[in-house]
Structure 1
Amino acid sequence: MTSPNLFQLAGLVFAAVTFVVVGDTAGKLLTGGGVDPIIVAWSRFALAAMLLLPFSGLTASELPNFRDWRVLLRACFITGGICCILTALRTEPIANVFGAFFIGPVVSYVLAILFLGEKPSRRRGVLLAIGFAGVMLVVKPGFGVSPGMIFALAAGGCYGGYLVMTRTLAGAYRPRFLLISQLLIGSALLTPLGLTAEFPAPDVSVAALILLSAFASAVGNYLLVIANKSAEASLIAPLVYSQLVSATVLGILVFKEWPDAYSLLGLVLIAFSGLGSLILHQSDKWASAAKG
């Protein structure tokens, strides 16, 4: 399989993060309606694991891979991230939550340099610093950070770790194995909490939203695994910023949530950071080709 070009990769990542936002939109509808975020997270992992296991291609010879500490840590990161973001979405506008969540690409960039040996770039560092400034405008730490935004920041930190671990494992394991491993491990981690939480009353709309939350999230994360197999984590990180577009649009359409002036400026800075990183990556690629 040939590696996708930048535009193909951008389209793949945008599709992936849009599916993730759709899943989280369903999750916000559920938690906003009084469903415990742990129930939403648990059902997302357990239902997706149960329904996708027959299509995962999982074999007996792959079972020992579940003991790989990198596989376990990756699953812990995504499990913690989803629990935190669903908790944040319960009380905060979806665009603001994803704005704070975008501390994740900064975390991913730093961790990729420290642990994956990827070379730092001064210009890319400046752009990520601009994105970080945008996150701060969304979070507004000087005005008192709400508990929901703290959970959103925690979700972003977990997601940054998840992106790096996905990049680390992308060449070692099949994409479908990586997906099913995070679903099964996440289900196991959340089962004790899920069993003690209060379940919602049976309702067709709740069941439909739980199904949508599970499948949209699973598809999105599977596409991210495919993308990480084709490109560096430091390139995937700014592409993930396109999630802001989906989050803002769905926030307006579904919840009638318009960002305030500070948040809107922050979202613009975050988007500028991601777009600038893409332009920088492409110009570096052209420069390298010209030298070669």
Structure 2
Amino acid sequence: MSAFELCRIAGTVFIAVTLIVIGDTCGKLLTAGGVNPFLVAFSRFVIGALALWPLARIRFHELAAYKDWRVILRAIFITCAICSILTALKTEPIANVFGAFFVGPLISFVLAIIFLSERPSRTQSVLLGLGFLGVLLVVKPGFGASTGIFFAVLAGVCYGCYLFMTKLLAGAMRPSLLLMSQLLIGSILLTPFGLSVDMPEQNTSLWLLIVLSALGSAAGNYVLVVANKMADASLVAPLVYSKLISATVLGILVFGDWPDSVALLGLTLIIFSGLGSLAATRGMPARYA
């Protein structure tokens, strides 16, 4: 793969994760302003489903695939992950939330070893362990970790299970069909919660944030689908760690949240782990890691 192609794919992934972070930034503004996280999650799934339905080109007979227990369980995991991360964002800096959230790849890694008999290389294991150390520095377990960080870790655990279920379903259905499954099933799961909470007042800015939160997340996930069509998942997955760069920058610009020195070290280790995994996967020289 040429340097130009690699840069094009990396740029696509960075745009995707930045759109997702913009959606979560809007979500943090909403939840910090008193809007119920479940209402934000419900609106995100519903608006995302409506926005992406024309692009997904779902055929009626394909909906039968959504009765597969693996598809349903996968949607449950991502629904729980979204609700948990929005709850965490209510009180925690956005960069710290995403730092704790990246416990997900470790969960997926362990599940793949147990259930799929995968045998990762020693380098992959070391880099993932380095990333987990970074997560521990962000979370600071036993040193005053807050409830918000607990929900961020819970979101990461659910996301790791979601990644594992995605791996199980890889090749079984079109990526856009799989994306729509989580949006449609998530909308159904959250309907009782979304309709039972108090709606925000007729405030134009709040409703604008709700729409932007949903569209940012939907657009970002759709661009990730496009990126996965451009390259193997083994190349795209480590690039997702660039989300921490966007999260840190937006956290500083929008909320004035500067990570403390320990959390900053942890975020750096997580990013290095992702870039190192990319270098190991593509067989690049170590100096490019």
What TM-score do the two structures reach when normalised by structure 2?
0.91
Partner of 2:109: 109
Partner of 2:88: 88
Partner of 1:10: 10
| Paired amino acid for 2:248 | T
| Paired amino acid for 1:186 | G
TM-superposed deviation, 1:166: 2.6
TM-superposed deviation, 1:91: 0.3
Q: Does the CA contact (< 8 Å) of 1:112 and 1:233 recur in 2?
A: no
Partner of 1:289: none
Partner of 1:151: 151
Structure 2 residue matching 1:23: 3-state secondary structure = helix
| Paired amino acid for 1:30 | L
**2:74 corresponds to 1:77:** no
Partner of 1:33: 33
Structure 2 residue matching 1:92: 3-state secondary structure = coil
1:240–1:54 CA distance, 2 compared to 1 (3 A): closer
Instruction: Tell me, in whole angstroms, the C-alpha distance in 1 between the residues paired with 2:146 and 2:24.
Output: 20
Partner of 2:190: 190
Instruction: Tell me, in whole angstroms, the C-alpha distance in 2 between the residues paired with 1:51 and 1:206.
Output: 19
TM-superposed deviation, 1:233: 5.1
Moved more, 181-190 or 112-121: 112-121
TM-superposed deviation, 1:156: 0.8
Instruction: Tell me, in whole angstroms, the C-alpha distance in 2 between the residues paired with 1:255 and 1:180.
Output: 32
The superposition leaves residues 160-211 of structure 1 with CA deviations (integer Å, 9 ceiling, x where unpaired) of 2222323333422222212221111000000111121111101111111111
Partner of 2:123: 123
Q: Does the CA contact (< 8 Å) of 2:45 and 2:187 recur in 1?
A: yes
Moved more, 156-165 or 132-141: 156-165
1:211–1:239 CA distance, 2 compared to 1 (3 A): same
Partner of 1:290: none
Structure 2 residue matching 1:201: 3-state secondary structure = coil
**2:248 corresponds to 1:240:** no
| Paired amino acid for 1:91 | T
Q: Does the CA contact (< 8 Å) of 2:46 and 2:183 recur in 1?
A: yes
| Paired amino acid for 2:29 | L
| Paired amino acid for 2:20 | V
Structure 2 residue matching 1:272: 3-state secondary structure = helix
Aligned residue runs from structure 1 range 225-236, under 5 A = 225-228=225-228, 235-236=235-236
Moved more, 150-159 or 226-235: 226-235
TM-superposed deviation, 1:151: 0.4
1:168–1:12 CA distance, 2 compared to 1 (3 A): farther
Instruction: Tell me, in whole angstroms, the C-alpha distance in 1 between the residues paired with 2:16 and 2:246.
Output: 11
1:164–1:227 CA distance, 2 compared to 1 (3 A): farther
Stretches of structure 2 lacking an aligned partner (at least 5 in a row)? none
Q: Does the CA contact (< 8 Å) of 2:92 and 2:149 recur in 1?
A: yes
1:8–1:105 CA distance, 2 compared to 1 (3 A): farther
| Paired amino acid for 1:149 | I
Q: Does the CA contact (< 8 Å) of 1:175 and 1:222 recur in 2?
A: no
1:110–1:150 CA distance, 2 compared to 1 (3 A): same
Structure 2 residue matching 1:141: 3-state secondary structure = coil
Instruction: Tell me, in whole angstroms, the C-alpha distance in 1 between the residues paired with 2:228 and 2:162.
Output: 11
The count of corresponding residues between Structure 1 and Structure 2 is 283
TM-superposed deviation, 1:9: 3.4
Instruction: Tell me, in whole angstroms, the C-alpha distance in 1 between the residues paired with 2:163 and 2:225.
Output: 9
1:162–1:235 CA distance, 2 compared to 1 (3 A): farther
